[in-house]
Amino acid sequence: MIDLNHLEKYTENNRIEAKKALGGLPHSIWETYSAFANTLGGIILLGVEEYKDKTLHTIDLPEPESLIKEFWDAINNPKKASVNLLTGKHVRIEEINGDHIIVIEVPRAQRYYKPVYVDGNPVSGTYRRNGEGDYHCTEEEMRAMYRDASIKTQDMTVLENMDSSVFCAESIRNYRQRMKLSRPNHVWETLDDDEFLMKLGATGIGEDGKVHPTAAGLLMFGYEYEILREYPNYFLDYREEFDDVHRWTDRFISSSGDWSGNVFDFYFHVYNKLQLGLKVPFEMQGGFRVDDTPVHKAIREALANCLVNADYYGRRGLVIVRKRHKITMSNPGDFRVELAEARSGGMSDPRNGIMMKMFNLIDIGERAGSGIPSILYVWKQQGWAAPTVKQSFEPNRIKLTLPLSDGTDEDKVTINADAHSGSDDKMTINRDEHGESDDKVTISLDTHDENDDNSDDNGKEVTITSETQKAMIIDYLTDRAEGTVAELSELLGVKSSRVKKLIYELIADNIVVAKGANRNRTYKLKA
């Protein structure tokens, strides 16, 4: 994950924690253990000090073996740690420039082990990690971890306080019609609606022996006002943002009151919007023009994945944004599998398994865990900038960005202020035309805030130096196994040629190594 011979190049971040440990095993190590396990994993360095300039430097530990024995004794005690995720390969002594330090690699915990807590108390002993260090998990975060730890997926729950009146009959009728087209003469085709919904998993038998909606049925076919009774934070939002003057040029939300507001109807309305404007090459099959392309299929896959993997109890709702050159899909919840596994494919662990089955029956989505890899493949074939997947916490969110170009036609990117802030502020990032002649990128911030004593009509300028950009790249590659030029270009807001220059300098400094060739090339920190 990091090059121990160049510790001075790193700072403490989301996945690196340094502790001097000269006075013995620090108590705060357990907070960090819990935090790393419940977030993305990370490395704890004992015998390493962070200087005032934030750089890391080694300190020779006098008796590292005794510290390791003390650590193993504690972590195997259930009164100290709820679960031991480590094996012998995760803890080792390293000698750096004559100094002996201890390296503890903490993996990300599988969902069924979460929350990982310390000192025998999940309420006071559960932590997570952000850029500023370890923090106590909120009650909301703990509830989300316990929900995901269950063997059953969230949408299997039978809602005994509801009956079939929560369903929108038109949504069910439209679903059955689509299933009839996708799977003609299916054995469920002749069933009445009550029997069909039971077979589909939209209803179930409660402990009272009566039929009630399941969470999957409510989300897929319920009315929005009924869904809110179970999911108070439920909100579906589609926006089109095609200019810099208006916050959106078109918007479609679940709470408008003029449609059902459920997931099924949202999917088809939004997909019809997203596929408008996608190029369709002229192709004939069997005497008919083919209007469906791999890009169309990939967008359907991405949209379905966004909907079935959302934690509908989570905050901020599900947001789809269509811009001229990209589509972003953001949903509450974090990954139930490692992000690297999601990228490579082959593993499927949907948060809402019944909903995924419902989409599969109308030929939408895949269950084999091939969603992200197939999207990456299609984008590569198009020659577009690579899609990016980001996971954030507090609150938990997943964001997929799908560029619709190779990125070279965008010389300026405008970033609008938070839509909920009530502000019209925006940042315009001007990129160097050739990308290689400048060592810095200037970001002009137009504030127009009459209450800000530091603002003026000419705005403000913040300069990001090449060293800062390199630090951002190192931080990004510390959080992820590897990265592409396209991903780093989006991170820094600069052209790919600029990123390549920074990467070559990091390679020359023996910090970063390249993997693969040409279009398949990725970069990672030197082990």
Q: Does 345 share its domain with 247?
A: yes
Q: 101 in helix, strand or coil?
A: strand
- Report the domain count for the chain: 3
Q: Does 434 share its domain with 304?
A: no
Query: What is the pLDDT of the chain when averaged over all its residues?
Result: 81
Contact 205, 245 (CB under 8 A): no
Higher pLDDT, 277 or 37: 37
Domain end (from 93, 118, 149): 149
pLDDT of residue 112: 80
Q: Report residue 354's pLDDT band, with 50, 70 and 90 as the boundaries.
A: very high
Tell me the C-alpha to C-alpha distance, in Å, between residue 116 and each of 72, 132, 521: 17, 20, 36
The CATH number linked to 432 is 1.10.10.10
The reported pTM is 0.61
pLDDT in tens, 298-331: 999 999 999 999 999 988 899 999 998 899 999 9
Element housing 196 (H / E): helix 193-200
Q: Does 447 share its domain with 496?
A: yes
Contact 104, 74 (CB under 8 A): no
Q: Does 21 share its domain with 145?
A: yes
Q: How long, in residues, is the chain?
A: 527
Q: Does 520 share its domain with 460?
A: yes
Q: Which residues contact 77 (CB under 8 A, 6 or more apart)?
A: none
CA–CA separation, 137 and 157 (whole Å): 25
Closest CA to 88 of 113, 112, 105: 105
CA–CA separation, 312 and 110 (whole Å): 21
Q: Does 101 share its domain with 159?
A: no
| DSSP one-letter string for 217-263 | HHHHHB-HHHHHHH-TT--EEEEEE-SSSSS-SEEEETTSSSS---H
CA–CA separation, 419 and 241 (whole Å): 12
What mean pLDDT comes out for the span 384-393?
85
pLDDT in tens, 514-524: 887 766 788 88
Whether cis (ω within 30° of 0) applies to the bond prior to 115 is yes
Using alpha carbons only, give the angle 148, 154, 160 rounded to the nearest 5 degrees.
135
Characterize 30-53 residue by residue with b for buried, 16 or more Cβ atoms within 10 angstroms of its Cβ, and e for exposed.
bbbbbbbbbbbbbbbbbbbbbeee
pLDDT of residue 483: 85
Q: Report residue 173's pLDDT band, with 50, 70 and 90 as the boundaries.
A: very high
pLDDT in tens, 247-301: 778 899 999 999 999 999 999 999 999 988 777 665 555 555 456 788 898 999 9
Q: Report residue 425's pLDDT band, with 50, 70 and 90 as the boundaries.
A: very low
pLDDT of residue 344: 54
pLDDT in tens, 159-168: 999 999 999 9
Q: Does 446 share its domain with 386?
A: no
Q: Does 434 share its domain with 491?
A: yes
The CATH number linked to 119 is 3.30.950.30
pLDDT of residue 2: 78
pLDDT of residue 13: 84
Structural domain harbouring 84: 4-149
Quote the DSSP letter at residue 385.
P
Q: Does 93 share its domain with 170?
A: no
Domain end (from 378, 403, 428): 403
- Percent over 70 (pLDDT), the chain: 81
Higher pLDDT, 483 or 259: 259
Domain end (from 82, 115, 149): 149
Which range is most confident: 49-53, 104-108, 166-170?
166-170
